[in-house]
Chains A and B, each alone.
Chain A
C-alpha cells in the first residue's frame, strides 16, 4: 500500500476527507516556504503538494503566478525543490510535487523521477501533461513506485475520465471549475457532478481543487469528495500573515474536512 492509499483508507475509517495543501518552494524565501509547509502539516494538512516554481504557469491565477515569479526572482532552483521535498517528507505526510512539465523535461524525467524518489516524494501532479503524452513518464513512475497524478476537468469526456482513472495512482485530481487557480467566494455547482462522473469510471479517491479558502467551504467539498485541495488561499495567508496565518488557516480547513456537510 502506498502512503497515499494508507492516507485515504485512514480518512475513510474516520469518516472524513483528506486535506491537501499546496505551497510553492521559495516563496517568500526557501526557508519560509519550508517552514510554512511543515507548519501546515502540524496544523492538520494530511498531504503536501510542493509547488515547483515555473516561469509560465498556464493554469495559475494571479496569486500563484506572482508567487512563482517571486520565487524565481529570489533564485529558487530545481535543486531547492528537491531539497524541500526531503524536508517536508520528513514530517511523515505524503509529499507530492506539483510541477509543470518543462522543468522536469529539462532535468530529464527519468533522472528527475529518481531524484524525487530519493528525496522521499510519493508522486507528482503534472497540470500540463496529459496521459497521451506520458507513456515513458508512466514507465518511469511505475519502475520507482511513484504515483502519477493527472487531472480531470468539467470539460473532460467520460472516455477521457476513464483513461485518467486507469492511469493515475493515489487519487484523481478534479480541477472542478473551468479556469485558473484562485480563491472563489462561491463554489461552483459543477464540482459535485464532476466527482460523480469520476466515481462512475474509477474506484480511486477523488480530490477536488476548486478555490476553497475557508473551513466552511472545505466542509462543503468534504461532503462529496475524498480530498480537498487548497492552494491560493494558503499562498495568500503566507503572503499577508506569515507562517502563523498558514497555521491558523490549515487548522480551520482541517476542522472543515472533519465536518463534512452531506446533502
Chain B
C-alpha cells in the first residue's frame, strides 16, 4: 500500500489526471522534481532544517488527561500541529513545495485557501523564499476567516476574493487552476491538500507524513505500544493522510476520518463525500464527490471553511473502499460542543476543523466502551491539526459570547477589511 500510487498517479480506481492538456507538461516536471527530491540528501536535509528551525518540529504529543472522561475513559493523546509555525499542519506541505518551487526555478506561487490556514502558510513561505504570492479565497470564506485574510496581506501576499459559484473553497480552487493554466510557465501552484491531479495527492502526502512518523514514535515512547485508533478531520484530507500513512501497515490501529456533517449527514446539507457521496471527477482527480444526478458538483454545508469542500483526496477513496480507514460525518453542533469541551478541559482552543476530529474520537471511545472494551486499555491519538484563533469570531457568535453591540462592531471591522486592496 505504501507503493501507492502507480506511476500514472492512480490509487486503485482513483486519482489520475483529469486536467486540460496545457497542464500536463508542468505536472510531469513537478513529478520528476519531487521524485528526485525524495532521494536527494541535500533536499531532504534542507527540508529537515526548515521543519526544525523554522516550523518548530517535532511537535509534541500531549496527554489530554481531563478530556479522557468525554471519550468513555479512553486515554487521548494530542498530536500538536496547532503548535507548528503559522498554527496548523499546512506549513509542512508548504515548506516542501516551496523548496520544489525553488528547484524548478519558478518565482511566482499561487494557492487556494478555505480556512485561510493554507493561504497563511503559503504567504509565510513565500516571504521566506522571496516569491511573489497570490492566494485565491472564496468571498464567503474571506468573511468568516477575516483574521487570516489580514495575516496573508501582512505577509505580503495578494488575496483575491472569488465571487463565482459557491464563493467557497471549491471555487477558489477553480480560480487558482485557471490562473495556473494561464501562467504555468512562471508559476507553481501550491495545492493545499492531498487533492488535485497527480502528483499532488502523493506529493502533499509525502510532505505531511512527518506528522504520523513523529506521532507513531512518540506514542511508542510514551505508552510503550501503538495506539488503538488514530483520528483526524478530513477536508481535502492532508492532515488525515499525513498521520494515517505511517500506520497503514499496523493492522491493529483503527484509522478514523471525520468529515463535515454540517446540519447532519441525513439532511443532505453537509460536506461529507466519503460518507455520503459517489465516485466522480473534480479538480483533476477521480475520487468520492458530492454531486447531483447529472454530475454537477453539489453545494456543501459546514460551519468549518476548511472542511466545506465537495471532494476529497483519492487515496482516502481507496482506503474507504478497502476498509482500512473508516469515515464518519460530524455535524456542526457536535463539533462545536467538542471545541468547547477541549477548550475547557485542556486549555486548548482548536480550529473548528480540528474539533470535528475530537468529536469523532469521543464517539469512537464511547462506542468501544459500550461494546465491552475496558476504557483503561484504550489509547487514541487525535491529530490536532490547527489552532482556533481564526475561529474566535464564529465561535463567539455560535455560543452567544458577545453582545449585540459587540457583534455590530466586529461587523464594521470586517467591512473595513473587505475594502482593503
Contact = CB atoms under 8 A, between A and B. Distances in A.
Nearest to A177: B182
A54 B21 contact: no
B21 A151 contact: yes
B323 interface: no
A132 B21 contact: no
A38 interface: no
A101 B165 contact: no
B233 to A, nearest CB: 24
B280 A133 contact: no
B17 interface: yes
A102 B291 contact: yes
B281 A105 contact: yes
Contacts of B8: 132
B184 interface: yes
A155 B184 contact: yes
B282 A56 contact: yes
A59 B283 CA distance: 11
A130 B17 contact: yes
B18 A128 contact: yes
Contact of A155 (B164, B185, B284, B296): B185
Interface in B16-68: 16-26
A105 B181 contact: no
A129 interface: yes
Given A58-B181, A180-B181, A106 B17 contact: no
Interface in A175-197: 175, 178-180
Given A56-B174, A102-B291, A175 B281 contact: no
A49 to B, nearest CB: 16
Contact of B18 (A61, A103, A129): A129
A58 B23 CA distance: 12
Given A106-B291, A155-B26, A72 B181 contact: no
Contacts of B281: 101-102, 105, 128
Given A155-B26, A180-B182, A77 B16 contact: no
B177 A179 contact: no
Contact of B178 (A58, A102, A104, A155): A58
Given A101-B281, A106-B293, A106-B294, A55 B165 contact: yes
B181 A106 contact: no
A56 B18 contact: no
25 contacts: A56-B283, A58-B20, A58-B178, A58-B283, A72-B296, A102-B280, A103-B296, A105-B286, A106-B280, A106-B295, A128-B18, A128-B19, A128-B20, A128-B284, A129-B18, A130-B18, A133-B16, A155-B25, A155-B26, A160-B21, A160-B24, A164-B21, A175-B20, A178-B184, A180-B178
Interface of A: 54-56, 58-59, 61, 65, 69, 72, 77-78, 101-107, 127-130, 132-133, 150-157, 160, 164, 175, 178-180
